[in-house]
Every structure is written in structure tokens, then in C-alpha cells.
Amino acid sequence: MQTSEEKIKQLVLPILREEDLELVEIRFLHSGPAWSLRVFVDKSGGVTIDQCASISRRISDRLDTTDIIAHRYVLEVSSPGLDRPLRNREDFERKIGEEVKINLKQEINGTLQIEGRILRLAGDEVILSGRDSQINIALEKIIEAKIII
């Protein structure tokens, strides 16, 4: 059985593809009596407020016609922001050339945290330009990575 987020994702993805946007995350949250549906979208070069508003209207219309959410909720469509965590290969590829801070599951060169500029990806490794050398980090060893602002 599909969760609400999975059903919503199936409805949202075609709209985002038409606009050349990437679905970053869907959060369907309950706080007290209120529900909120948060849809985070992104694309190379970022997303404008106008794009978020337009996508919000389209998603709202689609959700209203399918009636998969049985109760009241507030829909929020936004960009994940500059401090968006990098979670997968595509995230790292999109940020080539950027400075990142990476927290690791296992030490590399005696540390669990590495900073450097993303040079490229090779297979399942992120290649960084570190302080004194090039560092190869397997994606599976990364707990969290964020752009240094």
C-alpha cells in the first residue's frame, strides 16, 4: 500500500517534469490540529518565487481533482535553500565547483569531517580538492554534506 507521500509524489512528478524541476523532498506533517504538505523543488540555477507560486497552483489543482487528501492542509512549495544537504550523486554533480563540508561515517586521513571543492565524480566517489591534496570519498561513507556559504 502506498503512503500519502508516495501517492502525492506520483501526482506531483509529471507537473515538475513539465517545468524541468527536480523533486527534492515531500513532507506531509501533522502538528496539533493542522496538517501541512511541503514540496521542495529545485533546478540548476535555482528556483524563483514566481516558479514556486505557479507550481503550487498546479499541484493544488491536481490534488483537489484527485481528492487523495481527505482533510484540510496547507500546501507549501519552495526551494530547499542554499543550505540544502547533498544526498545523492545528482546533488553532488549539480554542485561541482562548490565548496562543501562533509561529515563521514568513517575517518579519512584521521578526521570525520572534510572540507573542499567538488572537482568531479568518478563512479561512486566524490573527488574533492582539499587543503593540500585531492580527496576521494565514497558516497556510501558520507553521513551529511552541505555547501559552505
Mean pLDDT across the stretch 5-10? 88
Asked if residue 48 lies in contact with residue 78, where contact means CB atoms within 8 angstroms, the answer is no
pLDDT in tens, 11-54: 999 999 999 998 988 888 888 888 999 999 988 778 899 999 99
Point out which residues pair with 38 in neighbouring strands.
27, 76
Alpha helices in the chain (DSSP H): 4-18, 49-66, 89-94
pLDDT in tens, 47-104: 899 999 999 999 999 999 988 888 889 999 998 877 778 888 888 988 899 999 999 9
Domains in the chain: ranges and CATH: 4-78 (3.30.300.70), 89-147 (2.30.30.520)
- SS3 of 126, please? strand
Model pLDDT, residue 135: 93
pLDDT band, very low/low/confident/very high, at 1 (cuts 50, 70, 90) = very low
